[in-house]
Amino acid sequence: MFDLIIRSMTQRKMRTGLTIFGIALGIFAVVVMGGMSEHMNLVVDKSLKLLANNIEVGPMEHLAVSARLMNQGSDRLKEYQELQMPLEY
């Protein structure tokens, strides 16, 4: 059985070489994609940790005003936030 495999591999060198190349390329692609996936997970986790303290929940009408003030500068946003009264439930 092994002599048939060896004989076939030596007779068809191009097919053997392309098969080995394809297998190596597939393994390389899986390793690279796994590494990229892990890196993206770390980037997302770090960015969520940075933004976690800055998330505010409030009524929808204040969302547009806050976004507009953010574009004008952080000083105006701080002034607006100081004027806000706590919501009563």
Does the structure show a pLDDT above 60 at 69?
no
- Reported as a pLDDT band with limits 50, 70 and 90, residue 89 is very low
Q: In 10 A of CB 53, how many CB atoms?
A: 6
Q: What angle do CA 55, 56, 57 make, to 5 degrees?
A: 125
Q: Which comes out higher in pLDDT, residue 74 or 34?
A: 34
Q: How far apart are CA 4 and CA 59, in angstroms?
A: 75
For the question of whether the overall pTM of this predicted structure is more than 0.75, the answer is no
Q: Indicate the average pLDDT of the chain.
A: 77
CA nearest neighbour of 66 among 48, 57, 53: 57
pLDDT digits (tens, 9 = 90+) for 8-24: 888 999 999 999 999 99
Q: What is the pLDDT of residue 19?
A: 95
Q: Is the pLDDT of residue 2 over 80?
A: yes
- What is the residue type of 46? K
Residue 70: pLDDT band with limits 50, 70, 90: low
Calpha distance 58→85 (Å, rounded): 11
Rounded Cα–Cα distance for residues 36 and 65 (Å): 38
